[in-house]
Amino acid sequence: MNKHQLTTLIKRESERLGFDACGVSKAEKLDDEARLLEGWLNQNLHGKMDYMANHFDKRIDPSLLVENAKSVISFSHNYYTENVQLNHSPKIAMYALGKDYHEVVKHKLNAVLNFIREQAGEVNGRCFVDSAPVLERAWAKRSGIGWQGKNTNLLTKRSGSYFFLAEIILDLELEYDSPVKDYCGTCTKCIDACPTDAIYEPYKVDGSKCISYFTIELKDEKIPAEMKGKFENWMFGCDICQQVCPINTQAKTHNEPQFSATTEILNMQQKDWDELNEENFKTLFKGSPVTRTKFKGLKRNIDFLK
């Protein structure tokens, strides 16, 4: 089987498993991205996300993650839904309304890797879902899945930006795809809408100012007082820059049941969130990305919105 045939089979299998897009890029050092990342870190735009500075070499060189790496297969998986929480209730970012994507997507990636081994014999490969030092947007961009928007999210002309990214790095040469055009044009809606000015200029984000940073990554007992009144009722993550993006008018509802929110979460009112206790938190968010904040962190966020 030649490279073209195998690559075509892999893409068909990924579609069968529920992935929305699959692209392939050559596994090589990300020299340009390395310079950008180094500059971003040197400006302390990662705030207290110290892990972003860890394993720098692995982030830019896939051969340090998979020996003799030749290909990076990038995948996108839609999580968009029209089922939303009640108005005026504290809000959870759409990606976190259902089950933890790490587990759901990783299971599908392993199925793809097993399929590759069935077709091509024993290959050395590893699966990654936002849980290792991999620059997923850079690889997705190189593989032609989409382009990096002015809010730095990956955008696709067909389905917007409401999707998870994942990768398989392997020591097998495949047929490589090419990057696509940037369609953002002169639009600045994401920049204009950000209430904390985290998108300080096109294609550049100050991570330490993002609402998602404050409500998920920041583990301090208190959120800085100067942020009071700027969160627009987001208690876990933030979707503002995605909500205003014209490309996302093309977003279509996902077809993965595990990403669907429970009616209990969708129907909770302000008083329900105010009265949330640790036992209910564990029941309500079992297997959910929201557990990342722990009960104490979510209560901190809810109280900060008052």
Cα–Cα distance, 204 to 198 (Å, whole number): 8
Locate 191 and state its tokens: 């920049």
Contact 78, 20 (CB under 8 A): yes
CA–CA distance, 275 with 272 (Å, rounded to integer): 5
- The residues with which 234 forms a beta bridge, in sequence order, are 91
**DSSP-derived pairing of the beta strands 204-205 and 234-236:** unpaired
Phi-psi bin for 134: left (phi > 0), alpha (psi -120 to 50), beta?
beta
Beta strands in the chain (DSSP E): 21-26, 71-78, 91-92, 125-128, 147-148, 154-155, 163-170, 199-201, 204-205, 234-236
Would strands 199-201 and 147-148 be described as parallel, antiparallel, or unpaired? unpaired
Pull the structure tokens for residue 14.
Answer: 């990924």
Which of 61, 130, 171, 272 is catalytic? The answer is 130
Question: Cα separation of 242 and 190, whole Å?
Answer: 7
Any idea how long the chain is?
306
DSSP states of 192-219 = HH-TT--EEETTEE-GGG-HHIIIII--
Q: What are phi and psi of 96, to 5 degrees?
A: -100, 10
130 is a catalytic site residue: yes
Longest dimension (CA), the chain: 61
Q: Which residues are catalytic?
A: 130
